[in-house]
């Protein structure tokens, strides 16, 4: 078996124009080996010093790649509330009970974080899931700190709080129980219909003005949805979740995220229309972002599913990112800039106006907060 360095994506992009699927396929994982996954390779992260790829050099058969089964890693977090000071997002703290995400979106901006763990941001991001088993215990400890000042905690900012592992571990549910008990506000962003499992917690939180839920819908086309987010809930299930949450009085919104030029951009109005019929109170959209290794992972996905559109899609991406593949600047990274980005914003505003979704949701309450009491061996003095 010979080893060689993986080819550049400029070379692959040119190769895609030949429409030679066999040549392209040699650079990617066998499609049967990563069924149900979004990434098409397991290329190493940015901090690794070597990149190797197995090929058949004629002296013997290449060892077959085993299926990428999910591997769960136990992690004990030293802190659970993450702080940020980004000026273009509406929260300054968040909770992620899991690292990695099985939903498998090839464009997920969180993929590069797996490189810090020594994993590939490709298939290993979807396969190697870290479970913060002490998340609830640590949350209580941090909320009980006398210096803590309550503000809404965002859940689902890095990885989905309702990904498949949540069915077994129920960390998100237990976190919500703590937040309800302490009367602490929170927001949830997810692509999973599993969120309705926790309606018994979300409904009383909504009555106190403590919760908002946003569900991301990228496509109404079942086949496209399966390509874009292989292990997320189907579009129909997500719309049903929006309806059930709305009927329960939980403030809900739909997020068309991300808008991928020439792939799902034509569905913007259709998604907003369908979500409005379910009773949502708001609608948002985020343009495709390709930070770090995500650029290459997304282009591999294009090469696998839409080899004839690679240049067109990436050209439109560069049009909204100032001629680059990614724009990390505050203020423009979510919406983009240029004629195409302006057009998408205008379409979104028209769709919002048509359904009366232009008003902002009321601010979440922070004045009900009651710090949790920690169980200790030390008795209270008074």
Lowest mean pLDDT among 16-20, 125-129, 285-289, 323-327: 16-20
Span 82-99, average pLDDT: 94
Domain assignment present for 360: no
- pLDDT tier for residue 34 given thresholds of 50, 70 and 90: confident
- pLDDT the model gives residue 130: 98
Domain assignment present for 54: no
- Whether 103 has a pLDDT exceeding 80, the answer reads yes
Tell which wins on pLDDT, 362 or 200. 200
Domain assignment present for 88: yes
Span 207-230, average pLDDT: 97
Q: Give the phi and the psi of residue 126 in degrees, each rounded to 5.
A: -90, -20
In total, how many domains does the chain have? 1
Q: CA-to-CA distance for 231 and 240, rounded, in angstroms?
A: 17
- pLDDT the model gives residue 24: 42
Q: CA-to-CA distance for 185 and 205, rounded, in angstroms?
A: 8
Entry field: residues in the chain:
382
Domain assignment present for 5: no
Domain assignment present for 336: yes
- Whether 1 has a pLDDT exceeding 90, the answer reads no
- pLDDT tier for residue 73 given thresholds of 50, 70 and 90: very high
What are the angstrom distances between the C-alpha of 371 and each of 33, 91, 180? Answer: 49, 20, 11
Domain assignment present for 155: yes
Span 247-251, average pLDDT: 97
* Beta strands, E only, 112-156: 128-132, 153-155
Strand partners, 282: 253
Query: What pTM, to 2 d.p., does this model score?
Result: 0.87
Strand partners, 355: none
Domain containing residue 222 = 71-355
| Residue 131 token pair | 């479970």
- pLDDT the model gives residue 31: 74
- Whether 5 has a pLDDT exceeding 50, the answer reads no
| Angle at CA of residue 128, ends 123 and 130, nearest 5° | 145
Query: What integer best gives the mean pLDDT of the chain?
Result: 89
- Whether 260 has a pLDDT exceeding 90, the answer reads yes
Rg (the chain; Cα; Å): 22
What angle in degrees, to the nearest 10, is found between the helix axes of 9-16 and 294-305? Answer: 20
Domain assignment present for 376: no
CATH number at residue 319: 3.80.30.30
Domain assignment present for 65: no
Please count the CA atoms within 13 angstroms of the CA of 265 that sit on its side-chain side.
18
Convert the pLDDT of each residue in 153-165 to its tens digit. Answer: 999 999 999 999 9
Span 294-315, average pLDDT: 95
Q: Give the phi and the psi of residue 124 in degrees, each rounded to 5.
A: -70, -25
**Exposure of 356 by Cβ count < 10 A (0-12 exposed, 13-18 middle, 19+ buried)?**
exposed
Q: CA-to-CA distance for 219 and 237, rounded, in angstroms?
A: 12
**Exposure of 25 by Cβ count < 10 A (0-12 exposed, 13-18 middle, 19+ buried)?**
middle
Sheet with 128-132: strands ordered across = 71-75, 128-132, 98-99
- Whether 336 has a pLDDT exceeding 50, the answer reads yes
| Residue 61 token pair | 């058969």
């Amino acid at each position: 078996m010979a080893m060689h360095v993986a080819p550049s994506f400029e070379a692959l992009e040119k190769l895609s124009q030949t429409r030679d699927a066999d040549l392209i396929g040699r650079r990617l994982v066998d499609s049967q080996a990563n069924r149900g996954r979004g990434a098409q390779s397991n290329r190493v992260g940015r901090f690794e010093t070597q990149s190797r790829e197995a090929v058949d050099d004629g002296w013997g058969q290449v060892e077959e790649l085993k299926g990428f089964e999910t591997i769960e890693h136990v992690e004990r977090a030293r802190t659970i509330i993450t702080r940020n000071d980004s000026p273009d997002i509406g929260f300054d703290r968040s909770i992620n009970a899991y690292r990695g995400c099985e939903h498998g979106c090839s464009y997920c901006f969180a993929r590069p974080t797996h490189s810090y763990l020594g994993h590939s941001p490709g298939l290993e991001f979807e396969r190697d899931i870290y479970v913060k088993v002490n998340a609830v215990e640590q949350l209580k400890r941090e909320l009980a700190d006398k210096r803590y000042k309550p503000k809404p905690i965002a859940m689902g900012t890095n990885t989905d709080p309702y990904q498949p592992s949540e069915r077994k571990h129920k960390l998100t549910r237990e976190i919500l129980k703590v937040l309800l008990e302490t009367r602490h506000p929170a927001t949830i962003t997810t692509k999973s219909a599993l969120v309705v499992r926790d309606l018994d917690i979300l409904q009383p939180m909504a009555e106190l003005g403590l919760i908002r839920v946003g569900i991301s819908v990228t496509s109404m086309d079942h086949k496209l949805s399966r390509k874009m987010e292989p292990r997320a809930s189907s579009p129909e299930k997500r719309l049903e979740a929006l309806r059930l949450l709305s009927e329960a009085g939980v403030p809900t919104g739909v997020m068309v995220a991300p808008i991928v030029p020439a792939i799902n951009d034509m569905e913007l109005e259709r998604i907003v229309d369908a979500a409005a019929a379910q009773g949502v109170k708001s609608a948002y959209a985020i343009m495709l972002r390709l930070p770090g290794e995500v650029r290459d992972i997304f282009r591999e996905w294009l090469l696998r599913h839409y080899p004839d559109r690679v240049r067109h899609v990436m050209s439109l991406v560069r049009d909204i990112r100032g001629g680059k593949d990614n724009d990390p600047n505050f203020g423009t990274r979510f919406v983009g800039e240029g004629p195409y980005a302006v057009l998408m914003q205008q379409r979104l505003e028209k769709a919002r106006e048509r359904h009366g979704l232009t008003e902002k949701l009321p601010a979440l309450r922070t004045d009900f907060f009651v710090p949790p009491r920690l169980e200790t061996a030390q008795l209270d003095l008074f």
